[in-house]
Amino acid sequence: MSQTKPNYPWLWVPSLYLTESIPYVIIITVSVVMYKSLGISNADIGLYTSFLYLPWVIKPIWSPVLELVGNKKKWFLSMQLVLALVFLGVGLTTGLNQFFTITLAFFWMGAFASATNDIASDGMYLIALKPDQQSFFVGLRSTFYRVGMITGQGLIVIIAGNLEESLGDPSKAWSWTMIIVAGLMLTLTLINFFATPNVQEVRIKREDQPSFGKVFGTFFTKKNIGISLAFVLLYRLGESQLVKMASPFFLDERTAGGLGLSVTDVGYLYGTLGVISLLAGGIIGGIVISRDGLGKWMIPMAFAINAPNLGYVLLSWQQPDSFLFPAVVVIIEQLGYGFGFAAYMVFLIYLAEGLFKTAHYALATGFMAMGMMFPGMLSGYMQEWLGYPGFFVWVVLATIPSFVMAYVAKYPKEFGKKLES
């Protein structure tokens, strides 16, 4: 590859991954809050918004198109512009009689655009950065992805809630909120247009271009692919369930086994203390892998992402009145998650190594989505069956496969280590 403009990863990596995560969280999570505020039944919300996960699971099907046609920057800028128009469309139609059907259609378009944006953005990361840079910036990238999710779940919902109170009309409130989101997406698109480098991608001659089958086939014939995919699916088995039930646990009344915290308390926990801890853990994780390689840190990072789950067991048993105890648990859990997730992301980069990096990375992240989706779907049933104390014990037990896979996964132990100059 060659570059025709300066490459400043400290600038474009954060903005690119904010632009990945914000549409995702708006479509998957904030849409649920919006439809609930607008009077849609829980049955319809659960059924129809669950289908919005599908594009992220099946995005590997069309990832070879991005590998073989066009360039990554044009693809992600186009998809980001589409997303800005999608959110504008949602904002302009929330007051219509058939708003549920119309806005759901917009969200469906947005889901496919967002999944495609993910493929192209990840492709840019893989081709614009050298391998040692990829491991160094993986902490920054995953951290800003999470910051974008917290922005959507926290700031955007807070804006909508304040507008509901001031306007006295949920439809108008969510209309203006989605228009604001559209403006945010357009702003991020412009930042990415100017900040991301223009990379001349290596192209295969047309007569030598492989078929879709070959692109997929070369992924599934990688050495130790079975163990690698098991690692991708199981490394976050406990975390995938914890993340769905942590907020309900904090918000539920104490008589129901929760801690009875307010929405403001939970927003403070995750929006300030949690973000600072996540930033620190993610950046430190990327730095130490860049310094020592993945092999030295895989097992410690598996402990970091899983061991803090014990804090939720203690919280559920003791149900403390003090805000300090849950704050300490969230700080430790988010710090450990940021640190431990760095190993996971570097492993995905390793799994994508080869000629078809973009398509293979999309395949890897498709399995990553499965690893979060299916356990998360069952987490609510498990919690209702076991109660919060039993559920968090189950989460801790569910971390065992993570440790096993971290131990048996096959990869070059020096992978991700910064090359000596």
Domain boundaries along the sequence of the chain: 1-209, 218-411
pLDDT value for 185: 96
| Residue owning tokens 């356990």 | 375
Q: Which two tokens stand for residue 364?
A: 């890897």
SS3 (DSSP) at 400: helix
DSSP category for residue 270:
I
Q: Compute φ and ψ for 261, nearest 5 degrees.
A: -80, 160
Cα torsion angle, 403, 407, 410, 416, sign: positive
CB-CB contact of 257 with 389 (8 Å) = yes
Alpha-carbon span 76 to 82, nearest angstrom: 10
Alpha-carbon span 316 to 249, nearest angstrom: 8
Taking CA 374 as the corner, what is the angle to CA 87 and CA 58, rounded to the nearest 5 degrees? 55
2 - beta bridge partners?
A: 200
Cα torsion angle, 214, 216, 218, 221, sign: negative
Alpha-carbon span 356 to 362, nearest angstrom: 10
Q: Which two tokens stand for residue 120?
A: 């192209």
Q: Compute φ and ψ for 130, nearest 5 degrees.
A: -70, 160
Alpha-carbon span 373 to 356, nearest angstrom: 26
CATH number for the segment(s) 1-209:
1.20.1250.20
Question: HSE of 38 in the Cβ direction (CA atoms, 13 Å)?
Answer: 25
Average pLDDT for runs of 10 along the chain of length 421: 60 90 88 76 63 80 72 91 97 93 96 92 82 73 80 80 84 94 96 86 55 74 90 91 75 82 67 76 88 90 94 93 90 91 89 79 82 76 85 94 93 78 46
CB-CB contact of 106 with 93 (8 Å) = yes
pTM of the model: 0.71
Amino acid at site 388: Y
pLDDT value for 325: 92
SS3 (DSSP) at 75: helix
Alpha-carbon span 16 to 299, nearest angstrom: 29
CB-CB contact of 257 with 387 (8 Å) = yes
CATH number for the segment(s) 218-411:
1.20.1250.20
CB-CB contact of 179 with 159 (8 Å) = no
